[in-house]
Amino acid sequence: MIPFKKANILIPKNVDMTKWSVVACDQYTSEPEYWNKVEEIVKDSPSTLRITLPEIYLEDSDVDKRISKINQTMQEYLDKDLFIEYPDTMIYLERTQHDGKIREGLIGVVDLEDYSFEKGSQSLIRATEKTVIERIPPRLKVRENAILELPHIMILVDDDQKEIIENIKNNVNDSDLIYDFDMMENGGHIKGYKLNDDIINAILEKMEKLNDQEYFDKKYNVSNKGVLLFAMGDGNHSLATAKANYENLKKTMPEEEYLKNPARYALVELVNLHSSALEFEPIHRVVFNTDVNNLIEELYKYYDINEDGDGQEFELVTSDIDKKLYIKNPKANIAVGSIQMFLDDYLTNHSGKIDYIHGDEVTREMGRKDSNVGILFKAMPKDQLFKTVIEDGALPRKTFSMGHSYDKRYYLEARKIK
């Protein structure tokens, strides 16, 4: 059975959709001015800003109060009959990005019984980066009492023939359109089409081919490996939180109940790895409020660093340094993994706070400020993703990002999980 299924999908009605839809919570985590601007745009309008928790607020002293308000607002939206429910369906979407390219996607649910973020997992759905277990509990606080889920999760399918998602546009028309609007803050434009059973069945049939073990072994030139059908793109920790919530529920009820529970599934957007609109961007590091000279000294002790192009490349930016450096004796397969190992060790015993930043210039700007260090990486080639995960397991956390921050998935669709 394919672990991607139809869902009962909620779309708001009679609202300003531009104000309704806001960017994923894990964006702009060091840029409060962005979220202040979103507050100004939304004001008192119904919005996903009111039923999600931007991670910039995750460590605030009033976070529990925020979570309680989120759950209360979800109930208010349901009580006010804010949504139209599209039962037992999938949604095909076209997202026109800031650069004008169109990213096609498919909204449905994944079965969490077929997903694992554990290292060495052979499940059909797998994490592509290391899951930080410590990041799950605060997110679990949001989900465990929530009535609704709103996905910013994007999952990838390796369909190099472009037979699954890219063909859908030929089978929908204006009568199937359920949303069509401009997105705030450089988010581009989005259209969504409700799919009928004939289209959905054809999609699932094509997925079955990718799920065949013999086909999988030949495609990736492997043996004795479980089929990797879907790989995480964005929202790794959100899906891990949904899994943790479901596993907790399983402890409280008999099997026949938890297998029918709506929390067994998570609403996601499925995207083809080979979409021409999908570009892998590096995720850089900035260490704030640290002893810059000491950090650099310790880095040079930790690794054999040179400026001659010998080894794994990264760029170091401080208030008076901006240069490319190379690690001759790395401890991981790629530069971002080697640097992350150093930073994890260094920050255990030294001052400083790390954040993960999208965008070269933003990272350089932050790195140039006093007491900060910026570290930049090259992008990982996206066609290496599935093969690497199959053979080596998950990549280091925050290895890659799919596109610019403003092209990330915005919250839009919802689903009842209780």
- Which pLDDT tens digit goes with each residue over 67-103? 999 999 999 999 999 999 999 999 999 999 999 999 9
Pairing mode of beta strands 265-272, 154-157: parallel
Confidence of residue 401 (pLDDT cuts 50, 70, 90): confident
CA distance 110 to 246: 13
386 CB contacts (<8 Å, ≥6 apart)?
156, 158, 220, 228, 231, 273
Per-residue pLDDT of 23-43, as tens digits, reads 999 899 889 999 999 999 999
Instruction: Report how far Cα 57 is from the mean position of its chain's Cα atoms.
Output: 18
User: Of all helices (H) and strands (E), which one includes residue 82?
Assistant: none
CA distance 398 to 377: 11
Assigned token pair, 165: 């998602």
Q: Is a pLDDT exceeding 80 seen at residue 333?
A: no
Assigned token pair, 293: 């000279």
pTM, two decimals, is 0.85
CB 372 within 8 A of CB 366: yes
Q: What's the first-to-final CA gap in the chain, in angstroms?
A: 24
Assigned token pair, 194: 């409700």
Per-residue pLDDT of 310-320, as tens digits, reads 999 999 999 99
CA distance 66 to 60: 9
Per-residue pLDDT of 261-301, as tens digits, reads 999 999 999 999 999 999 888 999 999 999 999 999 999 99
Residue written as token pair 């839809």:
21
CB 411 within 8 A of CB 52: yes
